Structure 1
Amino acid sequence: MGRATEAANVSEWAGITPESTARLPEGSQLKRSIALLAGPYRRNLIVLSALCVCGSIASLFLGSYSAFLAKVVGATSDRAAILFGMTIWGAYLLGNIVNIAVTDRVGRKPLLIAGGVITTLSLLLAAWIRLSKDHAGAVFAIFAVGAFAYWGGVNQAIWQYTAELFPAQIRGTARGFSTSWTRTAATASALLTPP
């Protein structure tokens, strides 16, 4: 209580202004949902949905399939594959901790861009080197860097942005729509990545 000016500043920073909410249709949830696709938030919704798809595929590949594929191509033993899987999830955890510590100082967009670039370069470099017995250690190290960058920037930015880029009246619908693509991508990744 007594912090009206601070609340107004935060609302303005988040884009919740009388002008932005006036553009939203009154009435049913269906009308508000249509506003997402036809209104001023369409671009945000499309970009975030695309990020959710790309992010989920990269995350699932690094965290779930890379150790399995290493075993299948004969690059590692069972024990080494399990240890590598643990290393990837450790890199995810460390990236998440770093993100929480620096995101408000650095900003979501720089972390998202840096994390996306590093994750992409890591996957491309690993593909160029190719996974084999001779290069398993190098590829695993590259994957760990990609996993750290993904959780340090891409993943958290996806979840933070989807909660912050839309006004309160349509936030739930916008977040539900954009993040539903993570489930679609997860299904596609589960079916397509191993083959």
Structure 2
Amino acid sequence: MSSNRIDDAPLSGFHKKLALYSSGGPFLDGYILSIIGVAMTQITPQLQLSESAQGLIGASALIGIFLGAFAGGWLTDKFGRQVLYTVDLVAIIVCSVAQFWATDPVWLFVLRLVIGMAVGADYPIATSLMAEFTPRKHRGVLLGGLLVMWFAGGSIAYIAGEAMLSLGDDGWRWMLASAALPATVIVLLRLGTPESPRWLVKKGRTVEAEKILKDVFGPEATLADLGEEERENVDVKAILRSGYGKRMLFVSVFWTCSVVPLFAIYAFGPVILDALKLEGDLASYGSAVISVLFTLGTVAALFVVNRMGRRTLLTHSFVWSGAALLLLGLFPDAPSSVVMALFSAYAVLIGGTQILQWIYPNELFPTEVRGTAVGLASSLSRIGAAVGTYLVPMALSGWGIGNTMLAAAAISIAGAVASVAWAPETRGLTLQQSATLSDPAEPARQPVTN
């Protein structure tokens, strides 16, 4: 019997469907966090928002993600991946529809806060389920592919948002409520998804785990193929103290540096492009074009993540995307074509850091705390993202667009430094090898190609 029957299994229809259904959460996340950028052009004058109120509403979902991601991670490690896999999306449906009737900034802030909590909870749930079912050769591509769907959701949000502006003064209400439609479809698709057999083994539910293994991987699959041991009562603090603290620091820092500039651009894209002298329709449609390029950048990163390796891709992505932001900061009065070219370069080059946000955390931590680790890293990254998004309107008015872009560039360069100092290489490893604190995989670190 091969000890790698699961890790070296071929990609099956089950894996493809699981990837599709799991990608629904990231798609909604990108849609929800992006469409607010278009909606704010109507919300601000109608609700007479101050700069502080604009920042709070723009950051509200990010604050919610901070709260929801850690709670969702803890819950998914305690109660299972499958149980929460659909429940979190129901909250998104209800609160999205409720936004249609929001009449004041506080009501809108609260609704988007709850939506963010539900979105954040889905991060560790869906990614843990994906990581624990996927063969190692395809794990990086399928996990990274979830981020592609984030950007796809963002691209569709900008396009749909621009279309709904034609609905008049209530266009922003239809924009914010529209997330309920894809959320409903995703909930229906996710029904019937099996529980993670790795999690079941940790909880001592070996009979259920083995049945799922045989259903998914064939009748010869057994619990021995998982390489997991029953170990239910694991103290997360003890695991962090035993050496995983450095990994948590690395993941949190690179994730934060990756999302702070990006979420600011998504939440206030038209405003930023307007400050760079791209006015009117060009500012709005320029945001849609850049959003599409973000998607293309993540797709391109998927093609090289197994060839370049995680560490090299992460470092280069930070360096070259940061260089594009640096040039925008140094030359904010450049011609519109140059501004669009630099923003486009940033959008494409940042793709490597984006797909690794869900690859690295799921590979670097063991099954019993994988959900908690992903949730905690996501929560910590959202602190910086929420603060950065909140400060954008004030930074634009106080610092000017040039210095704001220089600050964004500095954050990207900090991510590059952290990557050089701390990023491990997990390409080609089994889930058990990549999660161990020792270095068991020198022989296993062989290029894995698609």
Does the aligned pair in 2 maintain the 1:115–1:150 contact within 8 Å? yes
Selected match of 1:122 from 324, 327, 334? 324
> What does 1:165-184 correspond to in 2, within 5 Å?
165-184=364-383
Partner of residue 287 from structure 2, selected from 85, 99, 113: 85
| Aligned-partner Cα distance in 1 for 2:232–2:292 | 47
2:348 corresponds to which residue? 148
Deviation per CA, 1:30-89: give whole Å up to 9, x if none.
x2x103431211111001101121111121133333431232x37122200112101211
Amino acid at match of 2:373: A
Q: 1:53, 1:46 → 2: CA distance?
A: 11
Look up the match of 1:28.
Answer: 233
From 379, 385, 392, the counterpart of 1:193? 392
**Is contact 1:64-1:85 (8 Å) kept?**
no
CA distance in 2, matches of 1:116, 1:57: 12
What are the residue-to-residue correspondences of 1:8-157 with 2, within 5 Å?
28-29=233-234, 31=235, 33-71=236-274, 73=275, 75-130=277-332, 132=333, 134-151=334-351, 153-157=352-356
- Alignment correspondent of 1:17: none
TM-score by length of 2: 0.36
Considering only CA atoms, is the larger Rg found in Structure 1 or Structure 2? 2
SS at match of 2:365: coil
- Using the size of structure 1 for normalisation, the TM-score is 0.79
Amino acid at match of 1:119: S
Counterpart CA distance in 1 for 2:266 and 2:371 is 28
Q: Is the 8 A contact 1:36 1:174 kept in 2?
A: no
Cα offset, 1:127, TM superposition: 0.2
* Cα displacement string for residues 76-113 of structure 1 (whole angstroms, at most 9, x for unaligned residues): 22200112101211111101111222212221211111
Q: Which amino acid aligns with 1:161?
A: Y
- Bigger RCO of structures 1 and 2 (CA < 8 A, at least 6 apart): 1
For 1:163 and 1:46, the matched residues in 2 are separated by 14
Q: Percent identity?
A: 23
Q: Deviations over 1:121-179 (max 9, x none)?
A: 1111110011x3x533212211111111112x101112110111112122111111111
Q: What 5-or-longer segments of structure 2 have no aligned partner?
A: 9-134, 140-227, 395-450
- When the two chains are superposed, the root-mean-square deviation of aligned CA atoms in Å is 2.5
For 2:308 and 2:378, the matched residues in 1 are separated by 24
Q: Distance in 2 between matches of 1:80 and 1:8?
A: 48
Q: Indicate the SS of the match to 2:243.
A: coil
Q: Partners of 1:107 and 1:74 in 2: how far apart?
A: 36
